[in-house]
Amino acid sequence: MSTPLLEVQDLTLHVGKRALVRGLSFQLNPGEIWCLLGPNGSGKTTFLHSLVDLRKTQAGLVRLAGKALDAWPLTEAARLRGFLPQTLHDAFSASVLDGVMMGRHPHLARWQWEGENDRAIALAALDAVDLAGFEERDVLTLSGGERQRVALAALLAQDPPLLLLDEPTSHLDLHHQVLVLRHLGDLARERGKGILFSIHDLNLAARFASHALMLTPQGTVLQGPISEIMTEPDLWCAFGHRVTRIEAAGRMLFIAE
């Protein structure tokens, strides 16, 4: 059996006196696609930040490829896992291609410049998010959805085994939401990548994820295969809103009442 890409053991997270997560343990293996669900303020972003050491936990251990997260040198960790934050801010002009090429930095020596292979990887990543031909565009001229796809392309160009994404479909239209999530699914199935992404759209989560972590306002976390976690009672518990689950066209669909 392969080593899990990500392991969380007895993780506890607080904001002030409020417990967002209590004693969570789970592991993410190669080829799995996990979605992170929960209402606003439940701690999804805080949890993802803890997985990349941007926020300290109150208790517990995070392991990356079998070794404690803080034991990895930063460059080596960046080759193993990539992170797409929820918000991005461009302070300066830069070409789209330069922005995507930043994803190649963990694979370069200290004084090494990007080569033709790195450029080819970056161009392929742009094509994967439907931005072929945007290489010379200034990132400051892009729409919100286009800028989101540039960030996704940079993550794809980084090419880590583990991808952690905070609301990757935000700002995207329907076509590009499906395109991006389908590509992530292909990476998991065909290349054994491990994926964890937060999302608010229950139907997209059920369609593209194999497993779910669902945060509740009480600090408990429900976890397991999608079909077992995304049930009507559990969704009501997590979101405080009644949801009906139906089967149609061979898929689970969710309708808010």
Domain ranges of the chain: 6-256
| pLDDT the model gives residue 1 | 60
| pLDDT the model gives residue 148 | 97
pLDDT tens profile 175-224: 999 999 999 999 999 999 999 999 999 999 999 999 999 999 888 899 99
**CA angle at 114 for the pair 190 and 116, rounded to the nearest 5°:** 65
Q: At the top level of CATH, which class does the domain 6-256 belong to?
A: alpha beta
Query: In a structure prediction context, what are the per-residue pLDDT tens digits for the chain, which is 257 residues long?
Result: 689 999 999 999 998 888 899 999 999 999 999 999 999 999 999 999 999 999 989 999 999 999 999 999 999 999 999 999 998 888 889 999 999 999 999 999 888 888 899 999 999 999 999 999 999 999 999 999 999 999 999 999 999 999 999 999 999 999 999 999 999 999 999 999 999 999 999 999 999 999 999 999 888 899 999 999 999 999 998 999 999 999 888 888 999 98
- Closest-CA residue to 155 (of 133, 182, 125, 179): 125
| pLDDT the model gives residue 114 | 83
Q: What is the pTM of this model?
A: 0.95
| pLDDT the model gives residue 104 | 96
The three state secondary structure string of the chain is: CCCCCEEEEEEEEEECCEEEEEEEEEEECCCCEEEEECCCCCCHHHHHHHHCCCCCCCEEEEEECCEEHHHCCHHHHHHHEEEECCCCCCCCCCEHHHHHHHHHHHHCCCCCCCCHHHHHHHHHHHHHCCCCCCCCCEHHHCCHHHHHHHHHHHHHHHCCCEEEEECCCCCCCHHHHHHHHHHHHHHHHHHCCEEEEECCCHHHHHHHCCEEEEECCCCCEEEEEHHHHCCHHHHHHHHCCCEEEEEECCEEEEEEC
| pLDDT the model gives residue 32 | 97
